[in-house]
Amino acid sequence: MGTGIIILLVIVLAAILLLAMGYLKAPPDTAYIISGMSKRRILIGKAGWRIPFLERVDKISLQVMTVDVKTSEAVPTNEFINVMVDGVANVKVSSDPALLERAAESLLGMKQPELIAMVTQVLEGNMREIVGSVGLKEMVQDRQGVAKKITENVVPDMQKLGIEVVNFNIQNFRDNAGTIENMGIDNVEQIRKNAQIAKANAQRDIAIASSRAQQEANAVKVDSEKNMAEQNAELAVQQAEMQVRADTKKAEADAAYSIQQENQRKTIEITRANADIARREKEAELAEKEIAIKERQLEAEVMKAADAEKYQAQRQAEAELIRRQKEAEAQKYEAMQQAEARRAEADAQRYAMEQEAEGIRAKGLAEAEAIEKKADAQKRMGEASILEMVLAALPEVVKNAALPLAQTDKIVMYGDGNATKLVRDVMGSGSQVLEGIRESTGIDLAGLLAGYAGGKLSARETGEKPAPEEAPVEKAPAEEAKNQE
């Protein structure tokens, strides 16, 4: 069983392989020719099968080939004029089955250059044959007819090879003797001659016609001038009559025009006034509309600006509130710190003031006590005490009076006795000071000094002991310092 299946599979695979190897598909521009066991088969643009190893496939191209056909040497026409002919032909292997069979027999295996060379020779031979049977004039004037004759003449030969002539055209004729050019010159001269004759005849006819036309024109001119003179006379009479009627009509028209102009002026003024009123009304209406539009625009702009300012103010107020809160918190903290510092400083100042107050109080008590003792002593001493105080202060007063002289850098005095005069002036200043004290305080220092000195002198003369002095009064520290000074 297994061996049989394997053999069957091998057979099937071999059959499939053979079928794949034998499958053919011909393109439209190529003919596949299958030959071998049976009758020859041709495939063009369709698929088919061949038996591998037993049948072969040959290909023939059906594409159009361009063949340049030129005579290798001059060919005489039926007029024995040697010409060179250049032509071009388009040929292809025919797809007709009968012609394709012939092509398979004669062209199979032939390369395209070889095929073009063979076709060129056939076409050149047929072209030489046709050129020798026609005249030069016919060849030049009827190229298409000559090409048709060549095509008709070459078709049977080509069919024998299985080739189809698609088209054939003659491109150029030329000859070494210049016959074709001379034929053109003869034709050109003949055409020029005919043209000159026609031109002369035309000029003659023009001159005759011009003379006749001038005579007729002269006659017509004379008649015309005569008629014009008569017409001018009649025209002058008619113009005079028409001038009278025109003047009359003009006067009437002027009067009517003045009336019409006045009426029209009134109408124009009325119309202009109405138009002016309408224009002013329209301008007022437009102005009201523009005012309304501007009011709406202004209102919109103001509202928009107000909204923006409101929003900005809100944002600024919020920011300001936050800033103030922060500042208040900072100030509160700083105030607490400052209050603590001030409290500590106040405690220190209070303690210092208490100590200073104790010192001042003690000093004041001491000074009060000293003043009280001094007052008691002065009370016991009487005028002597007062005199002592004045005498203690008198040097300072004299010193202050002489202070301007002490601040003087240099004093220049001329004449004799100036030094004595200076001393006298200083002493006079002292006397003025004593006089000023007497006037301001009522105390006569000179009298007190004189009385005190007189009492001392009288006591010495009478031999009486002076009154015992009172116990010395303790002077205040301030007074002692002053006296020491």
The verdict on residue 291 lying in a domain is: no
Question: In degrees rounded to 5, what are phi and psi of residue 412?
Answer: -110, 125
Q: Residue 350 above 50 pLDDT?
A: yes
Sequence-ordered alpha helix ranges (H) in 382-417: 383-406
Q: Is 180 exposed, middle or buried (0-12, 13-18, 19+ CB in 10 A)?
A: middle
Lowest mean pLDDT among 172-186, 274-288, 351-365, 451-465: 451-465
Residue 359's pLDDT band (cuts 50, 70, 90): confident
Per the DSSP assignment, residues forming a β-bridge with 69 are 87
Q: Give the CA distances from residue 420 to residues 187, 268, 423, in Å, rounded to whole numbers and listed in that order.
A: 173, 128, 5
**Residue pointed to by tokens 């060549």:** 150
CA 11/CA 17 separation, integer angstroms: 10
Residue 272's pLDDT band (cuts 50, 70, 90): confident
Residue 433 or residue 82, greater confidence:
82
pLDDT at residue 482 in the model: 42
Q: Residue 458 above 70 pLDDT?
A: no
The verdict on residue 221 lying in a domain is: no
Q: Residue 479 above 60 pLDDT?
A: no
**Residue 245 structure tokens:** 């009627």
Residue 204's pLDDT band (cuts 50, 70, 90): confident
The verdict on residue 111 lying in a domain is: no
Domain enclosing residue 445, as ranges:
386-484
CA 40/CA 50 separation, integer angstroms: 11
Residue 234's pLDDT band (cuts 50, 70, 90): confident
**Residue 392 structure tokens:** 């203690």
The verdict on residue 169 lying in a domain is: no
Assess contact for 48 and 34: CB atoms under 8 A: yes
pLDDT at residue 147 in the model: 85
Q: Give the CA distances from residue 214 to residues 150, 200, 201, 202, in Å, rounded to whole numbers and listed in that order.
A: 64, 21, 20, 18
Strands 82-93 and 163-174: antiparallel
Per the DSSP assignment, residues forming a β-bridge with 68 are 88
Q: What is the mean pLDDT of residues 46-70?
A: 83
Assess contact for 429 and 420: CB atoms under 8 A: no
**Residue 153 structure tokens:** 């003449």
Q: Give the end of a domain, one of 40, 59, 78.
A: 59
Q: Give the end of a domain, one of 59, 89, 109.
A: 59
Residue 182 or residue 233, greater confidence:
233
Q: Residue 282 above 80 pLDDT?
A: yes
Assess contact for 164 and 158: CB atoms under 8 A: yes
**Residue 384 structure tokens:** 């002597």
The verdict on residue 172 lying in a domain is: no
Sequence-ordered alpha helix ranges (H) in 33-166: 97-106, 112-131, 136-141, 143-161
CA 58/CA 104 separation, integer angstroms: 9
Among 156, 31, 153, 152, CA closest to 100: 31
**Residue pointed to by tokens 């015309």:** 224
Assess contact for 60 and 107: CB atoms under 8 A: yes
Assess contact for 100 and 156: CB atoms under 8 A: no
Strands 82-93 and 41-44: unpaired
CA 102/CA 42 separation, integer angstroms: 12
The verdict on residue 143 lying in a domain is: no
Residue 468's pLDDT band (cuts 50, 70, 90): very low
CA 154/CA 130 separation, integer angstroms: 10
Assess contact for 159 and 126: CB atoms under 8 A: no
Residue 483 or residue 391, greater confidence:
391
**Residue 112 structure tokens:** 């395209």
The verdict on residue 115 lying in a domain is: no
Assess contact for 122 and 157: CB atoms under 8 A: yes
**Residue 182 structure tokens:** 């001379």
The verdict on residue 201 lying in a domain is: no
Q: Give the end of a domain, one of 14, 30, 59.
A: 59
Assess contact for 448 and 383: CB atoms under 8 A: yes
pLDDT at residue 90 in the model: 92
Question: In degrees rounded to 5, what are phi and psi of residue 29?
Answer: -100, 15
Residue 345 zone, left/alpha/beta (φ > 0; ψ -120 to 50; rest): alpha
pLDDT at residue 184 in the model: 57
| Percent of the chain scoring above 90 in pLDDT | 1
Assess contact for 11 and 3: CB atoms under 8 A: no
Mean pLDDT, the chain, whole residue set: 76
Name the domain count of the chain: 2
CA 94/CA 161 separation, integer angstroms: 9
Residue 400 or residue 149, greater confidence:
149
Q: What 3-state DSSP class applies to 467?
A: coil
CA 104/CA 131 separation, integer angstroms: 32
